[in-house]
């Protein structure tokens, strides 16, 4: 299998040629599970680990390899094991705030062309969660496509209302409806998957991601389990891994994410709420708080029915969350850097 078939393009290849050292080869990370890695090149997949130097120089969790990364590796033991020396700069990425109280990034996947954001029409449909996924995807410079599954479990009127709620939130991404019972929409998704391009599925457990993957693979390779009466699925995927489809497309499967914390979104928030950014620029005052100032374009748009107030409130909530987490993250980074300098100073003194 050629590296181009694994998603390598000319830009990544040029960066890798400047970065990989003598005796090192280029490979792609195809699986990550609790600090263990699998990489793949033209010869196939092998387990891989990080070198001590890599671990020492990694400044944060963002620097650690994730599924989809291109890495410089050195093979050992008759090419049965590889050491990862470096990560080639990513052209796109998915990351979120680490689950729980820890203020840090969690890298999810990298070098993705299209993200399929999956929601079930039956139990899982939630526009506010959809907005969070879109912020993540837009921040990482990935094209989003929305998949609404299990359409056979809702009426045509209910489905139409869901479409209206999505568009009312200012979401313009392409929407494809899917039925696991009838197979409706599967051919449309297949038509979007191109050879050598990388795709991922984002969504909660139980929304039909595994069933869709089996449709795309053309056979029942991945195990599916029943969804509970509350609509909550059980995790059928336990690790992130990259699959090669029969048509040459590349698909990253990953466990459902219960927490979608926003951290340092930057462009992602503006891109996901583009109409709010445009309206804000039209306010009379640059520091308008959109509460009681005269000439507020946001309040005027809400009063005229041009802006959904729930969508605006969601924007304010995500922005406040992002600002708070970013300040906490920057403070943590300062402390980490100070501690790192102290450690290096002690080690230097001992040397």
Q: Is the pLDDT of residue 17 over 80?
A: yes
Q: Tokens in use for 246?
A: 């029969």
pLDDT at 348: 61
* 227: confidence class by pLDDT, cuts 50, 70, 90: very low
Average pLDDT over residues 278-283: 90
Q: Is the pLDDT of residue 39 over 80?
A: yes
Q: How does pLDDT run across 81-136, given as a tens digit for each residue?
A: 999 999 999 999 998 776 666 666 788 999 999 999 999 998 889 998 899 899 88
pLDDT at 228: 38
pLDDT at 230: 38
pLDDT at 204: 83
Q: Is the pLDDT of residue 237 over 70?
A: no
* 289: confidence class by pLDDT, cuts 50, 70, 90: confident
pLDDT at 101: 66
* Domain boundary assignment for the chain: 3-87, 93-253, 267-335
Query: In the CATH scheme, what is the code of domain 3-87?
Result: 2.40.50.140
Architecture label for domain 93-253: 3-Layer(aba) Sandwich (3.40)
The label of the residue with tokens 């070198």 reads 51
Average pLDDT over residues 198-219: 85
pLDDT at 235: 41
Architecture label for domain 267-335: Orthogonal Bundle (1.10)
Q: How does pLDDT run across 138-183, given as a tens digit for each residue?
A: 989 999 999 999 999 999 999 999 999 999 888 999 999 998 778 8
Nearest CA-CA partner of 9 in 223, 167, 188, 197: 197
Provide DSSP, 121-149: TTTT--HHHHHHHHHHHHHTT-EEEEEEE
Nearest CA-CA partner of 255 in 178, 216, 180, 202: 202
The label of the residue with tokens 């009466």 reads 229
């Amino acid at each position: 299998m050629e590296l181009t078939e694994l998603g390598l393009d000319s830009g990544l290849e040029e960066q890798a040629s400047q970065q990989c050292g003598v005796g090192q080869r280029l490979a792609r990370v195809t699986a990550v599970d609790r600090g263990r890695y699998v990489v793949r090149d033209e010869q196939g997949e092998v387990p891989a680990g990080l070198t001590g130097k890599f671990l020492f120089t990694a400044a944060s969790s963002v620097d650690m390899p994730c599924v989809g990364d291109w890495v410089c590796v050195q093979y050992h033991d008759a090419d049965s094991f590889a050491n990862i020396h470096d990560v080639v700069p990513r052209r796109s990425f998915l990351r979120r705030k680490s689950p729980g109280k820890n203020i840090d990034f969690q890298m999810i996947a990298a070098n993705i062309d299209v993200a399929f954001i999956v929601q079930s029409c039956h139990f899982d449909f939630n526009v506010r969660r959809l907005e969070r996924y879109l912020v993540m995807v837009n921040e990482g410079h990935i094209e989003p496509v929305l998949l609404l599954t299990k359409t056979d479990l809702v009426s045509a009127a209910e489905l139409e209302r869901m479409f209206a709620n999505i568009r009312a939130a200012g979401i313009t991404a392409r929407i494809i409806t899917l039925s696991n019972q009838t197979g409706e929409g599967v051919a449309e998704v297949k038509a979007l998957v191109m050879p050598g391009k990388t795709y991922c599925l984002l969504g909660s457990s139980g929304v039909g991601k595994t069933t869709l993957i089996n449709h795309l693979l053309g056979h029942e390779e991945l195990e599916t389990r029943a969804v509970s009466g509350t609509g909550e699925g059980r995790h059928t995927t336990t690790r992130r891994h990259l699959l090669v489809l029969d048509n040459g497309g590349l698909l990253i499967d990953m466990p459902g994410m219960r927490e979608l914390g926003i951290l340092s979104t930057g462009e992602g928030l503006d891109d996901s709420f583009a109409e709010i950014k445009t309206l804000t620029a039209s306010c009379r005052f640059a520091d308008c708080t959109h509460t009681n100032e005269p000439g507020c374009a946001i309040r005027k748009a809400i009063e005229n029915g041009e802006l959904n107030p729930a969508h605006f409130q969601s924007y304010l909530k995500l922005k406040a969350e992002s600002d708070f987490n970013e300040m906490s993250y920057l403070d943590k980074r300062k402390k980490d850097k100070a501690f790192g300098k102290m450690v290096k100073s002690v080690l230097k003194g001992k040397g």
